[in-house]
Structures are given as C-alpha cells and as structure tokens.
C-alpha cells in the first residue's frame, strides 16, 4: 500500500489496540487538531472519543450494525456531537475508521444556538445576553450556577425560562443572579420527556436522541470537576440531558466527591428518582430540598415522578445521604401525601368544571374553557393556569 493511501494511525501505535483512519478522511481529522489545541472542547471531544477506541468499543455511543454471520470483522457506528464515525473491528483486533460524516460548522452552529452547547448568560441594562463558551468550561465566579435547559427551539426563550427557574429555586435571589449571571447548557429542539414522550421520560439515561447534548454536557461537567461549590439546576426536560451526562461520567469513573457540587431539580419531566440516584453515585450533593414540582402538571407527575417517584427518591436519600435523616424523609413523605391529596381535590374540581363547561354548551372541552369555569365555580383558575401552562404563568407573573 502506497504512503498516500496507507491509513493514518491515530491511537495505539505504541500500546493498546491500534486505531486507524482512512486517509480520505485524514484532512478532516487534521483540521480538528489545531482547534483542540486552541481550547475548542468539541474538537477535543471528537479526537479523544475516536482515540478511546484503543481501549475497546463497548461504549454507550457505539451501536453495532448488522454484520454477516461468520464474518471476520464487526461493523459499528460511533455517534458523536456533529460527527458519525463508521468503524470496522478487524480480525487482527485493530480498529479502522473507514468513513466519517463530520459537520465542520458545528462550533459555528453552537454559537448561534442551533446546536447544543454552553453559554454564559449575563444581564446588561435589564436584558439577558448570551455568550457562547467554545472551551466548554463554566465561568469562574464565587458561586457558579449552571442551568441545564429543556429542549427549546429559541435560545432567548430558554434563557428567560432558566433564569426564572433559578430565581424561583431556594438557591439564589434574582438580585444576585442578575449581578453574577449564570451558565446555561442549551439544547435546541422539542421538549424532552413528559406525558407525551413517556418512554424517553423513563429511559432518559439511554435515550439515543439525547446523546449529542448529553455528551457535550458530560465534557463540561468533567472540565468543572476541580471547581468547588458549583450549583447545577435542571430546568424541566433538562434533567434528561443531565441524567445521561451523569451516566456517561459514571461509566468513566469520574466523580465529584469533596467538590461540593450541588444539584437542584426544577420541575423535572424525566425520571427524577433515576437522576437523583446517579447524582449521589458520582458524589453530588443536595440541599435539604432538592426538588420543585407542580403535581397537577401531567408532564411532571407522570414523566418526572412516575406516580410516586418522590417517595422512592426520598428513601434513596435516607440510605445514601448522611445529611438526610429518617425524620426528614417522614416530613417530606407527609408533604408528598398532602401535595398528592391537593392534586386529587383539584382534579375533582376540574371534573366539575368540565361538566359545567359542557353544560354551558362549549363545543370542545378546551383548557381555556375549563379554567374559566373552574375559576368562577371553585377558585381553581390560577392553580390550573400555573400547573398546565407553567412557562406562560411565569412570564405573566413577571409582568405584573
């Protein structure tokens, strides 16, 4: 084989399993190296992940394709942010990356908010402004706060929502938030989990559609490992991205013991109990209250709590969190029972409201009709509005 066509060895030349790259795609790879040296975390991630094949291909972002029986090779694909690598494991044991689909505009699209990425959010004259962090490293500040957004089409809407969720949490006042700003791992696209995507809500840790964003978040979390007192807040479906990122870190043996990283789950729409378990397993900490929930919201009740996940999560904390006592669990369990009873009571009121809406001749049983009648009959209007349309409720509340 002539030197021009001989595969490029990218790992395992001196030790480990050799990883080779088809020369046709060598220029793609070579273009990534100066970007990685300049501190671009996306380029660094692609290089490190491809080189990691030297230690084997049993990874969560590797999917084995159909390989003919009795073949002396294994064919699989490796999914990475902005990149899909097609790989053969040869009978000799070496890996050959024979094809790559690489989006070299990926960092540019991240900066525009069209791909997942980390942004620093600052407040200037009362307006939030986003600045893309190409290094993937969180901002150095006395009390770093990182919000992990739900899937949201517009980055401005994501900033507005995340800032409200942080302000509503017991962690920070809006005054400090506006002075300090915060970081946001943003995921563009459709909302994550909830009632309409229940399989994704239950299996967020392994959901293939979340791999791109979760891999980038895992890299950001890894880079923050030596920074103390970081607060991670998940906004609604952002808990799904966070769950899979923590699962990636756990598989790599990365933990945050002693670093005082705290997590707060704000209105989760994917499995809260699973997220909390992973957070404890990688050494994350919690305040006394680590969850904000709206029990009348079906996306949170079904997608986030899975009908009782808060009780399971409380039991998990008693077993693994030395600062969370059985007394704490008992108090929280009573709060949960009260919260669920309130939901049942309000649901009964909704039933009356629906019946009244139908009785009034409403052509369709629409949410506005139910809220209007419920408000008039039972005083439930604000509760329903806040539960069923939480983001609109927040925006309206901020304007009052």
Own/partner contacts of 62-70, CB < 8 Å, gap of 24 or more, are: 63/208
pLDDT confidence band for 336 (50 / 70 / 90): low
pLDDT of residue 108: 95
d(CA 206, CA 338): 33
| Proportion of the chain above pLDDT 90, given as a percent | 54
What whole-number distance in Å separates Cα of residue 32 and Cα of residue 258?
Answer: 34
How confident is the model over 164-185, as pLDDT tens digits?
A: 999 999 887 777 788 889 999 9
DSSP-based three-state secondary structure for 168: helix
Distance CA 188, CA 308 (A): 30
Q: Is the pLDDT of residue 53 over 60?
A: yes
Encode pLDDT of 193-243 as tens digits.
999 999 999 999 999 999 999 999 999 999 999 999 999 999 999 999 999
Q: Is 383 exposed, middle or buried (0-12, 13-18, 19+ CB in 10 A)?
A: buried
Query: Is 46 strand, coil or helix?
Result: helix
Distance in angstroms (rounded) separating the CA atoms of residues 200 and 194 = 8
* Domains in the chain: ranges and CATH: 8-103 (3.30.2310.20), 109-324 (no CATH), 337-399 (no CATH)
| Whole-number pLDDT of residue 161 | 96
Q: How far apart are CA 40 and CA 134, in angstroms?
A: 5
CA quadruple 180, 183, 188, 191: dihedral, nearest 10: -80
User: Six-digit token pair at 62?
Assistant: 């590797």
Q: Poorest-confidence range of 25-39, 236-250, 381-395?
A: 381-395
Give me the helix-helix angle, 272-281 and 309-320, nearest 10°: 10
d(CA 62, CA 97): 13
Average pLDDT over the chain reads 82
């Amino acid at each position: 084989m002539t030197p021009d066509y001989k595969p490029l060895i990218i790992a395992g030349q001196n030790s480990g399993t050799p990883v080779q790259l088809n020369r046709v795609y060598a220029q793609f790879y070579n273009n990534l190296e100066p970007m990685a040296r300049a501190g671009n975390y996306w380029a660094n991630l692609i290089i490190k992940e491809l080189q990691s094949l030297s230690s084997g291909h049993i990874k969560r972002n590797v999917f084995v394709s159909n390989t003919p029986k009795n073949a002396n090779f294994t064919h699989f694909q490796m999914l990475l942010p902005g990149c899909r690598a097609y790989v053969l494991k040869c009978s000799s044991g070496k890996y050959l990356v024979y094809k790559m689909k690489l989006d070299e505009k990926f960092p540019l699209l991240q900066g525009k908010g069209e791909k997942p990425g980390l942004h620093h959010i600052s407040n200037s004259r009362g307006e939030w402004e986003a600045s893309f962090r190409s290094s993937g490293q969180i901002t150095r500040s006395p009390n770093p706060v990182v919000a992990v957004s739900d899937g949201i089409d517009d980055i401005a809407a994501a900033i507005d929502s995340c800032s409200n969720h942080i302000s509503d949490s017991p962690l920070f006042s809006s005054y400090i938030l506006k002075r300090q700003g915060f970081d946001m791992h943003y995921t563009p696209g459709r909302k994550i989990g909830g009632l309409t995507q229940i399989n994704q809500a239950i299996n967020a840790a392994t959901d293939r559609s979340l791999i791109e964003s979760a891999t980038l978040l895992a890299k950001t979390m890894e880079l923050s490992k030596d920074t103390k007192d970081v607060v991670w807040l998940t906004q609604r479906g952002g808990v799904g991205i966070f769950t899979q990122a923590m699962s990636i870190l756990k598989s790599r043996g990365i933990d945050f013991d002693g670093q005082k990283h705290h997590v707060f789950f704000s209105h989760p729409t994917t499995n809260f109990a699973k997220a909390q378990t992973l957070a404890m397993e990688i050494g994350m900490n919690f305040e006394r209250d680590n969850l904000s929930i709206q029990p009348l919201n079906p996306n949170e009740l079904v997608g986030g709590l899975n009908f009782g996940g808060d009780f399971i999560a409380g039991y998990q904390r008693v077993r693994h969190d030395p600062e969370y006592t059985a007394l704490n669990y008992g108090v929280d369990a009573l709060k949960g029972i009260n919260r669920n009873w309130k939901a049942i009571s309000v649901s009964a009121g909704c039933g009356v409201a629906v019946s009244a809406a139908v009785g009034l001749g409403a052509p369709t049983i629409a949410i506005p009709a139910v809220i209007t009648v419920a408000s008039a009959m039972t005083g439930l209007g604000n509760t329903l509005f806040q539960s069923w349309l939480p983001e609109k409720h927040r925006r309206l509340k901020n304007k009052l």
